[in-house]
Amino acid sequence: MQKKHISKAVINRLPRYYRYLGDLLEKDVVRISSKELSEKMNVTASQIRQDLNNFGGFGQQGYGYNVEYLHTEIGKILGLDRKYNLIIIGAGNLGQALANYVDFERRGFFIKGIFDVNPKLVGLSIRGIEIRLIDELEEFLKVNQVDIAALTLPKAKAPKVASDLAKWGIKGIWNFAPTDLHLVENVIVENVHLAESLMKLSYKLSEQQYPSDK
């Protein structure tokens, strides 16, 4: 497949295509037209065609899309055709909740370690993964190949830990701490801020209920 620049908006939509196609696959749907897919996903058929044309189309006139093929190809574009090793830094409420979530493995993300500063948590294990002291992290990264670190620790601690992780070779940071991280160029940071999503919801609700205030 030819590599060309793909807009961020298209990339942002791909996981949703992937999820819908995965649901269709589970229902043994073999093929789908862009019209049917658009109705399910509540986007226009032309948007779907435009998005997928970025990657060479995948569809056939009069046939639509082969669900399995499209799911596989979008998975490849998203880099889901490989496995990623992941660690979690901060074994509090959120860190433990992430570690308990089994679906990441189904998508190819394998949790290899959980680290915390609190010695009381050390030795506890979540789904067979032991919580270790953060002091062991550097050594751990020398002997274990890890691609992604999830940061679920207080925001004041996140920048230092993130910069250590970058220094020790981590290339992807999944940042839940509510702070912006400024790291070296080749480290990719994906921020997940539930509170920001909630604020968007609150904006939409208030716009709907009190439109004249806007």
Query: One symbol per residue from 100 to 139: x for binding ligand NAI (CB under 6 A), - otherwise; what is it?
Result: ---------------xxxx---------------x-----
User: What whole-number distance in Å separates Cα of residue 161 and Cα of residue 130?
Assistant: 20
Residue 192 engages ligand NAI in binding (rule: CB under 6 A) = yes
Q: Among 67, 53, 85, 78, which residue's Cα sits nearest to residue 25?
A: 67
> Across the strands, what pairs with 87?
113, 149
| Contact between 87 and ligand NAI per CB under 6 A | no
Minimum CB distance to ligand NAI smaller for 90 or for 113: 90
The minimum distance between CB 197 and ligand NAI, in angstroms, equals 8
Instruction: Please tell me whether residue 149 adopts helix, strand or coil conformation.
Output: strand
Residues in contact with ligand NAI, shown as a per-residue x/- string from 144 to 183 under the rule CB under 6 A: --------xxxx-x---x--------------xxx-----
Reading the block at residue 93, the tokens are 């409420």
Nearest to 22 by CA among 65, 64, 60, 68: 68
Q: Nearest residue by C-beta to ligand NAI?
A: 92
Please report how close the Cβ of residue 30 comes to ligand NAI at its closest, in angstroms.
38
Rounded to whole angstroms, how far apart are CA atoms 142 and 135? 13
User: Which of 23/196 has CB closer to ligand NAI?
Assistant: 196
Helix (H) or strand (E) run with residue 66 in it: strand 65-66
Beta bridge partners of 132: 115
Contact residues for ligand NAI (CB under 6 A)? 89-95, 115-118, 134, 152-155, 157, 161, 176-178, 192-195
